[in-house]
Structure 1
């Protein structure tokens, strides 16, 4: 068994047991430079700022569908191959967005899980958070509650509960989560963290003098169906409809890759 195989086995175990994992250096320096430029272009073309929950994150709107270079990143074979290894099932790409936290103007992103917002019925939803700059703790790296994806109780809570109390809704339903260890994961440009959609996580404010720039790719079970939420039905799809291949393609894999 090669060192790479051993590392991948550890990464898979880490993801499944803790609900997140850190993969250093998935992108090369040249790739980071090219995708960073594309990310800034996409932000300039189509973006919005989160005012509702006070984080002031600047995010794109369907960047992976509108910018060919960012679509290349969302469908990157190395990323897709590793995602399917983590999942142990066929996947498709559900989304890809640029996220930027500017220095001096951002606020912490409160504790949440991503399944709260997911418009899907799926066996598995998870995200790849790709750092396009170095992200130490002071720049707002992600912090996770290990094992929180395996908690009992309801699979997810209503979006309205997050809206009413965005910083505490998880702890209201699962008070034991307050006592989970909290693991901050500072990353270098080109690193990726993968996290399960039920894994509770948080990100601090950016207190440095450089913007935090990242690209978020969302993967879902290839057999997932559309599930609008009360008050949130933005897509031209029917409830229960399988995701169309032309818009949400199957995850590409690197040549010769095996599961």
Structure 2
């Protein structure tokens, strides 16, 4: 596997306080331009294989061994940042690409990550910009203080994680190599990509080692420490190409 692409540095008191207070913190320049370019090219090679299409958020957790994406996913320095912000040992939960199509790739609804799979303790998303993130390209927007609300219930008539239309939302412009860390409880979303280039990012979710999670509305609970994340987080031998269907 490649060397750690994330620079090693301690979080400042202000960064820790921002995360606690607002539910997110922007960490500038954690990847070098060279690491950004290699990781972006790797992500887009995967997109070219599986087909990006016109999408608000093309996600896949698959990556190849000894690739730039594998180095990012398994970065000890990134895991250390997650551990520091959650105030306990971080365990890898779910890595995935976050690519928005050029020329109108749609808005992604406001939601909490904890509205997908529910954690009973701290979880964090470290979201890595691999191209410039602007409002025009559909950068993330955060709802400060929303992590204090706990896990929000779904809105009637919508799917399990949508329906939120917060009055206050703070855009988070980013430069390539920046990382925004946000709580699993922080409400966030993104706008359309109106530029002529894909919006390319990579997200790595962690859970604190003592957290339990449920994927069946609380009927059963598993622990990160004993049962693992319940998702494949290791490399694959080949990227899975989605099966083509008539009319698609």
Whether TM exceeds 0.5 here: the answer is yes
Q: Separation in 1 of the partners of 2:134 and 2:112?
A: 22
Q: Separation in 2 of the partners of 1:91 and 1:8?
A: 19
Q: Separation in 2 of the partners of 1:199 and 1:189?
A: 22
Q: Separation in 2 of the partners of 1:217 and 1:245?
A: 13
CA RMSD of aligned residues (A): 2.9
Q: Secondary structure at the match of 2:21?
A: helix
Calculate the TM-score normalised by the size of structure 1: 0.75
How many residue pairs align between the two structures?
Answer: 221
1:156 Cα shift?
3.6
Partner of 1:17: 21
1:205 to 165, 184, 192: 192
Q: Separation in 2 of the partners of 1:211 and 1:87?
A: 31
The structure with more helix, counted as a fraction of residues: 1
Partner of 2:151: 155
Partner of 2:201: 214
Partner of 1:30: 34
- Give the unaligned 5+ runs of structure 1: 172-176, 250-259
Q: Separation in 2 of the partners of 1:21 and 1:161?
A: 33
Partner of 1:108: 107
Q: Separation in 2 of the partners of 1:214 and 1:208?
A: 15
1:191 Cα shift?
0.3
Q: Deviations over 1:179-229 (max 9, x none)?
A: xx4211100000000111111112110011111000000010112334123
* Contact 1:137–1:204 (Cα < 8 Å) also in 2: yes
- Give the unaligned 5+ runs of structure 2: 1-8, 235-248
Q: Deviations over 1:115-150 (max 9, x none)?
A: 1002x4341111011001111111111111110100
Q: Pick closer, same or farther for the CA change 1:160–1:126 going to 2, 3 Å.
A: farther
* Contact 1:225–1:243 (Cα < 8 Å) also in 2: no
Q: Separation in 2 of the partners of 1:163 and 1:18?
A: 26
Q: Separation in 1 of the partners of 2:31 and 2:161?
A: 37
1:98 Cα shift?
0.9
Q: Separation in 2 of the partners of 1:114 and 1:127?
A: 8
Q: Secondary structure at the match of 1:137?
A: coil
